[in-house]
Amino acid sequence: MYILVLTVPLLGALVSGLFGRKIGEKGAGIFTSGCLIISLSWSLLIFYETTLNFSTTYIKLWRWLDSDLVTAYFGLQFDSLTAVMLIVVTSISTLVHIFSTAYMDGDPHVPRFMSYLSLFTFFMILLVTSDNYPQLFIGWEGVGLCSYLLINFWLTRIEANKAAIKAMLVNRVGDIGFVLAMLAIWDQFGCLDFASVFNIVALAPSDNTTLICLFLFIGAVGKSAQLGLHTWLPDAMEGPTPVSALIHAATMVTAGVFLLIRSSPLLEQAPMALMVVTIVGSLTAFMAATIGLVQNDLKKVIAYSTCSQLGYMVMACGLSQYSISLFHLMNHAFFKALLFLSAGSVIHALADEQDMRKMGGLIRSIPFTYTMIVIGSLSLMGFPYLTGFYSKDLILELAYDQYYLAFAHWLGVFSALLTAAYSLRLIYLTFISNTNAKKEVFSQAHEGSWNLTLPLILLALGSIFVGYLTKEIIWSFQITLSPIIPTSIKLMPVIFSLFGAGTAVVLYHYSSRIFNAPTSPVGLAGYTFLYSAWQFNYIINHFLVQNVWRLGHLITFRVLDKGVLELIGPKGISQFMIRLTQEISNLQSGLVYNYALMIL
Amino acid sequence: MYYRYMIVAILLLLLGVLGIVLNRGHLIIMLMSIELILLAASFLFLINSMITDTLIEQVFTIMVLTVAAAESSIGLAIMVAYYRIKGTIAIKSLNWLRG
């Protein structure tokens, strides 16, 4: 019955996708949500079995790749890590399904949407339950594919299409790293399933482990939107809001961190790779937090905050604190899903307006959503005794302990300050400041129906209690002694967060000068730099994409297609032969005396 | 001692060939050149008959003469038919079939 957790979302996707016309919009919503609820209940049972009762389960299904050189089984592995991921994926996905039935109401393609969501969940479950790398890669590519399908769900919008193609292509850069890592693992160890590889690597460490880990990390960078390959994540906001919640909270971006956690025995043998992981993670956390400060799109602020929090998780992996990273992943899934779905509620209330500058004053018309977004933001800031507090501050404490990478700690703490600042900025601009919305839109603002609000309530409960409830369980995965650090350092993230939050409120409430800051030359330069996301898109487009584009035109089109193939390739040869035979046949002039001459 | 006769015969043969190749005028000249070639061939047969002192070449010569007569009559017939259609028997106008 363990396999049910995998097959039920697939069943939902198939039925809703193939027979969506038969079962109707409501039917598709109810059926897929019901399937997901079954899956969620089974994953709770699996959590009970594997984590609380310490009975890891392995299921070998069938032989899959079978040759002399490599043998891979199609198998499932349910251990503590998988169980935690299953709970995260299925619970968030269930709530997103229920939310979507309200949010997408009136859309002509609801069955297709629900089908894609379920397929997404299926691939993610396949990813977390696999017991070998190739099978994990199926899920890996599957979630990339489903993100493509979902980001351009409204496929008549050119922006959505471009964002989806970008998401697919940028992810593919990371996927190549993953494929190379698989090839290197196979070359080094001769097998691809986790159990064998991780046992061998501890016994016989080799020089190639660093290379393998770096390749794996490239894969994680692409999927988890770390520095360099993060540009697809903000653009992925073009999809419907439940999709953003699913992609950026529970499923897709967590896959990269999951891969790092899963490959922890490999990473442990490569200190060099761990250092790279820490540096990239902390830089991502800092960079995304600074960009989040100045974004005007409600969803993009939350997207950059996702990027930043993923930086924390990757940093924790780099510090060898994999279970803490997993803990933060779980907590983050809850409060980020809450934030995204609340943002969806705001957008729903304001008739699809996403610009924060055209919001404001919503605290009176939608107080429930306001409460939810405040809970989510406080949790994200690491406010004491909320979910984010337990994992985020722990990561920072552990980073302080690693004194050889002290700058990671400072970047992390400073990101915490910025996180608080942009969260409060979001709340202030959307709910508290005077309104800038159109009158007819603002007066129509309202809370959604029960299936829009119920997921928010459940996620808010999760954002408050999950960290407290599960901290002992997840900490127990890894025997780590808590570092002994001064109390001032322990308190610092909280103080910094409160300071950042207070600064944001003061700046926006009491000082109108902050709105004038971008008009001064220095302010303008800084604002442009941050608003355009550190110019990453420009740099990549200008120096990389355009050159590749030009190379494609010059080499493959002009030199290969028009040059080699047309001059000396098949086309050139055939043209030469035709000309030759025409000249030969011109010898037959029709004049009799020429024939006579030739005969003689 | 028969060399000079053979040289004459070969010269006649070459004359016929050149008549065919170089002739740009009428078909009749071409037909006459063919006759000349056949006569030169018959002449060579006869000389060989004298050299080898056998009769078989003379029999051959008679047959060649017969064939030549038949050939020139058919040739003339074709030419007449051609003249009826085209109104000319110039070889230069005979180039309708090209490669």
DSSP per position, A333-346:
HHHHHHHHHHHHHH
Question: Given this model, what pLDDT does residue A480 score?
Answer: 64
- State the Cα–Cα distance between residues A288 and A415, nearest whole angstrom: 9
Higher pLDDT, B23 or A29: A29
* Of residues B21, B97, B98, nearest to A593 (C-beta): B21
Surface of B (25-44) touching A: CB under 8 A: 30
Residue type, A27: G
Number of domain units in chain B = 1
Element (H, E) at A78: strand A71-78
- State the Cα–Cα distance between residues B12 and B58, nearest whole angstrom: 19
Neighboring chain A residues of B24 at a CB cutoff of 8 Å: 593
Question: Given this model, what pLDDT does residue A40 score?
Answer: 93
With bands split at pLDDT 50, 70 and 90, how would you rate the model's confidence at A95? very high
* Of residues A587, A589, A596, nearest to B95 (C-beta): A589
Nearest to A455 by CA among A8, A36, A27, A17: A36
With bands split at pLDDT 50, 70 and 90, how would you rate the model's confidence at A96? very high
Any domain includes B62: yes
Say yes or no for a CB contact (<8 Å) between B94 and A591: yes
- The answer to whether B90 touches B26, Cβ cutoff 8 Å, is yes
* Of residues A586, A590, A600, nearest to B17 (C-beta): A600
Question: Given this model, what pLDDT does residue A45 score?
Answer: 92
Residue A492: pLDDT over 90 = no
* Mean pLDDT (chain A, rounded): 86
Neighboring chain B residues of A600 at a CB cutoff of 8 Å: 17, 21
Q: What distances in angstroms separate CA B28 from CA A31, A204, B88, one per listed residue?
A: 101, 103, 11
Any domain includes B99: no
- State the Cα–Cα distance between residues A369 and A74, nearest whole angstrom: 44
Residue A192: pLDDT over 90 = no
Neighboring chain A residues of B96 at a CB cutoff of 8 Å: 590
pLDDT per residue over A431-455, tens digit each? 888 877 777 777 777 777 888 889 9
Residue B1: pLDDT over 80 = no
Question: Given this model, what pLDDT does residue A404 score?
Answer: 65
The stretch A154-165 carries a mean pLDDT of 89
Neighboring chain A residues of B30 at a CB cutoff of 8 Å: 592-593
Say yes or no for a CB contact (<8 Å) between B99 and A588: yes
Pairing assessment for the beta strands A71-78 and A57-66 based on DSSP bridges: antiparallel
Question: Given this model, what pLDDT does residue A293 score?
Answer: 86
Higher pLDDT, A16 or A572: A16
Any domain includes B72: yes
Question: Given this model, what pLDDT does residue A516 score?
Answer: 65
pLDDT per residue over A260-309, tens digit each? 999 988 888 888 888 889 889 988 999 999 888 888 888 889 999 999 99
- The answer to whether A120 touches A146, Cβ cutoff 8 Å, is yes
CA distance to partner chain B, nearest, from residue A546 (Å):
54
CA distance to partner chain B, nearest, from residue A571 (Å):
25
Neighboring chain A residues of B25 at a CB cutoff of 8 Å: none
With bands split at pLDDT 50, 70 and 90, how would you rate the model's confidence at A123? very high
Residue type, A138: I
CA distance to partner chain A, nearest, from residue B7 (Å):
20
pLDDT per residue over A229-266, tens digit each? 888 888 888 888 999 888 888 888 889 999 999 998 88
Nearest to A301 by CA among A432, A425, A166: A425
Query: Is residue B23 less than 8 Å (CB to CB) from chain A?
Result: yes
With bands split at pLDDT 50, 70 and 90, how would you rate the model's confidence at A535? confident
The stretch A327-332 carries a mean pLDDT of 90
pTM over cut 0.90 = no
If you ran DSSP here, which 8-state letter would residue A145 be given?
Answer: H
Any domain includes B96: no
Give the residue numbers spanning the domain of B35: 1-88
- State the Cα–Cα distance between residues A228 and A173, nearest whole angstrom: 11
Any domain includes B17: yes
Question: Given this model, what pLDDT does residue A38 score?
Answer: 93
Collapsing DSSP to helix, strand or coil, A76 comes out as: strand
Convert A80-104 to b/e letters by CB count within 10 Å (16 or more is b).
bbbbbbbbbbbbbbbbbbbbbbbbb
Neighboring chain B residues of A585 at a CB cutoff of 8 Å: 99
Name residue, tokens 């409204």.
A154
Strand partners, A132: A193
The stretch A484-499 carries a mean pLDDT of 82
Any domain includes B93: no
Q: In the A/B pair of chains, how many CB contacts fall below 8 A?
A: 33
With bands split at pLDDT 50, 70 and 90, how would you rate the model's confidence at A364? confident
Say yes or no for a CB contact (<8 Å) between B91 and A593: yes
The stretch A581-589 carries a mean pLDDT of 85
Report residue A156 CA to chain centroid gap: 24
Domain edges within chain A = 132-517, 538-599
* Of residues A590, A592, A597, nearest to B98 (C-beta): A590
If you ran DSSP here, which 8-state letter would residue A69 be given?
Answer: S
Question: Given this model, what pLDDT does residue A514 score?
Answer: 66
The stretch A130-158 carries a mean pLDDT of 91
Name residue, tokens 């009762």.
A53
Name the closest residue on chain A to residue B95, using Cα atoms: A590
Residue B40: pLDDT over 90 = yes
The stretch A545-573 carries a mean pLDDT of 83
Which of B14, B15, B21 to mutate: most A Cβ within 10 Å?
A: B21
Question: Given this model, what pLDDT does residue A518 score?
Answer: 66
Question: Given this model, what pLDDT does residue A502 score?
Answer: 85
Say yes or no for a CB contact (<8 Å) between A592 and B30: yes
- State the Cα–Cα distance between residues A389 and A420, nearest whole angstrom: 12
Any domain includes B61: yes
ipTM given for this complex: 0.72
Higher pLDDT, A339 or A414: A339
Structure tokens belonging to residue B74: 């058919």
Say yes or no for a CB contact (<8 Å) between B95 and A585: no
pLDDT > 90 in chain A, percent: 25
CATH of the domain at B77: 1.10.287.3510
If you ran DSSP here, which 8-state letter would residue A448 be given?
Answer: -
Say yes or no for a CB contact (<8 Å) between B99 and A590: yes
Name the closest residue on chain A to residue B20, using Cα atoms: A593
* Mean pLDDT (chain B, rounded): 88
Question: Given this model, what pLDDT does residue A481 score?
Answer: 65
